[in-house]
Structure 1
Amino acid sequence: MAVWGLNVSAVKALTQYFAPMPLATVRMVTACAVLTAILLWRRCRLPPLDRRQRLGLLACAVLMVYANQILFAEGLQRSTATNGAMIMALSPLVSALLAAMAFRERLTPQRIAGMAIGFGGVAAVVLSHPGARLSTAGLGDLLLVAGVVSFAAGGVVVQRLARHINPLPVSWAIYMAGTLLLVLHTLWAGAPGAMPRQPVGAWAWALVLFSGVFATAVCNLVWNGAIARIGVARTAVFLYWVPVFGVLFAALLLGETLTPWHALGFAAVMGGTWLGTRRPA
């Protein structure tokens, strides 16, 4: 979550050089190269799959990589940063609801309280930012909600697949297929949008490597491994930490001011995560 929080600032800086879709494609291609190297190093391979498992991997590639990247890129262009942060904070709730439907996981009062407290903490962090305001709902907000549902639904499928397959080849297959779709989409959209907006220097390429290697390949591999071990509902609660870490890194690296609201939000996220991930007695 700390790396994903830092990645928000990195991707924001990279939008000065790349349009959203080509940037997503470059990041995903880098992630695929890293996942392939890890797969070869671990001497791990994708086992023979039945028809249902192949369809599951394809569904994950579409939901978690291809559709998710397009929906968030297009949604953030049409919505405000505040709306985006608040909508993305709905991920744990959406994941818990989908897991309850797919795996008959019980939504205990403790877990519901944890999600509510965590969401309140995120709201305190996001809305305390100077100039932050919630705009009226529009097409951009609907696209962002669809992106949240898309990623959460893919996580449910990963949990089902990881019962029988190592998360490493699962992650590799998902990102290879999803990235192929993104590359084809970027090429189909036309060459002008794929050209850099300004000359790309060493610092920008370093950010691309950080975002593709650590924030995308390594973190998503860890994420899918966590889903396999503790389930998508409990794993998703930790997403509340992304905006918290994002604010902390903005204060450390960009000199933004921290307020008592940030401390309150931090405490609420800690308490919500503890409640939301605790197994019932």
Structure 2
Amino acid sequence: MSATPQPASPPEAAVSHLSTHLRLIGMAVLWGASWPWGRVIAQAMPPLAAASCRFLLASLILLAWLHRTGRLAALRGWTASRWAGMTLAAATGVHGYATCFMMGLQHVPAGKGALVVTMNPVITMLLAAWIFRERLNRVIGLGMALAAVGAVTVITRGEPWHVLDGRVGIGELLLLGCVVCWVGYTLIGRRVMAGVDALTTTGVTAALGAAMLLLTSLAVEGAAGWTTVLHGPANAWLCLVMLAVGSTAVAYAWYFDGVRTLGAGAASGYITLVPVFGVVFSALWLGEVVDASLLIGGTMAIAGTAVMNFGRR
């Protein structure tokens, strides 16, 4: 008879958790780096063709991963309603978000974009409280207010009255479109993707979204858009590959590992670091200037997100 397996000793468990924490930091680095990478691509390639190319590459990796882990066969048993839910999720979380992301970065510096999307958890929590009757508390409310004021400060360059006189630019509006699409994706997931693991959801929605982006690109930009992508500069292609492999496949894998090992609350706390890395990398790699409104508003937005995560626990 074989010996009964013994639980990991505290030092071994600590080492295991340390590696998980390091991977979650790596996830935040890759997601933060996606903003300057996206900015480089947006300045060199047609946005829709580049976005579809990114998700075609990412979906190939993710679908191969699903096949290797035995999850791909389970898709045969999905109902029509589940496929419809996945298609709706892909339309918002992949097609809509990627379109606004790439087109927004044609007009807005990457560091600013990374800070604007700190509005994601604020709007998601407000709508979840309204639709799903999730409970809020004073700490979450304080974090929401702080993050919202910080994001508005960044969007309006420290002059929030510009929201009323229509002087907010098209780039800022497109980045707010990113927020709307991601919030929609999150809330749709609560309704239609129950019982499906996160890796399968990511792989399927990436593949469906890539197909939507491809069709949209061909309809709007035509074959010339893809010709421009294929003949794009080497630095833009490097950023495109890093977006597909690093910021999509690898970063999601590390995030899911963190959720499985530490829990969703602890893992999601690392997302607070994403805009920090986004601003730092944009300044270092692209030479973007961090002015007072970006610094003050960004600090408020990041602090607000951290307070919200603390309040949820």
1:36 aligned residue: 63
Matched letter for residue 125 of structure 2: A
Q: How many angstroms does 1:212 deviate by? A: 0.8
1:109 has 2:141 as partner: no
Of the two, which has the highest radius of gyration? 2
Aligned match of 2:48 in 11, 17, 21? 21
1:118 has 2:150 as partner: no
Q: Distance in 1 between matches of 2:207 and 2:230?
A: 28
Q: Distance in 2 between matches of 1:98 and 1:223?
A: 24
Matched letter for residue 106 of structure 1: R
Question: Helix, strand or coil for the counterpart of 1:195?
Answer: helix
Q: How many angstroms does 1:118 deviate by? A: 3.3
Query: For 1:43-67, what per-residue CA distance to the aligned partner results, in whole angstroms no more than 9, with x for missing partners?
Result: 3234422343222111101111112
Q: Distance in 1 between matches of 2:168 and 2:292?
A: 29
Q: How many angstroms does 1:230 deviate by? A: 3.6
Q: Distance in 2 between matches of 1:179 and 1:200?
A: 19
1:248 has 2:275 as partner: no
Q: How many angstroms does 1:276 deviate by? A: 0.8
Matched letter for residue 182 of structure 1: L
Q: Distance in 2 between matches of 1:262 and 1:242?
A: 15
Aligned match of 1:3 in 30, 53, 63? 30
Kindly report the root-mean-square deviation, in angstroms, between the aligned alpha carbons of the 2 structures.
3.8
1:63 has 2:95 as partner: no
Q: Distance in 2 between matches of 1:101 and 1:227?
A: 26
Preserved CA contact (<8 Å) 1:85 1:126: no
Q: How many angstroms does 1:198 deviate by? A: 9.0
2:304 aligned residue: 272
1:156 has 2:187 as partner: yes
Matches within 5 A, 1:1-281: 1-45=28-72, 46-47=74-75, 48-75=77-104, 80-81=108-109, 87-121=116-150, 136-137=167-168, 141-161=172-192, 163-189=194-220, 190-196=222-228, 199-220=231-252, 230=264, 235=268, 241-254=273-286, 268=300, 271-279=303-311
Q: Which moved more, 1:41-50 or 1:115-124?
A: 115-124
Q: How many angstroms does 1:4 deviate by? A: 2.0
Q: Distance in 2 between matches of 1:142 and 1:7?
A: 19
Q: How many angstroms does 1:210 deviate by? A: 0.4
Preserved CA contact (<8 Å) 1:241 1:269: no
Q: TM-score, normalised by structure 2?
A: 0.71
The aligned length equals 274
Preserved CA contact (<8 Å) 1:25 1:179: yes
Matched letter for residue 147 of structure 1: C
Matched letter for residue 213 of structure 2: L
Q: Distance in 1 between matches of 2:143 and 2:47?
A: 34
Once the two structures are aligned, what percentage of the paired residues are identical?
A: 27
Which ranges of structure 1 fall in alignment gaps of 5 or more residues? none
Which ranges of structure 2 fall in alignment gaps of 5 or more residues? 1-27
Q: How many angstroms does 1:242 deviate by? A: 3.5
Question: Helix, strand or coil for the counterpart of 1:278?
Answer: helix
Pick closer, same or farther for the CA change 1:246–1:72 going to 2, 3 Å. closer
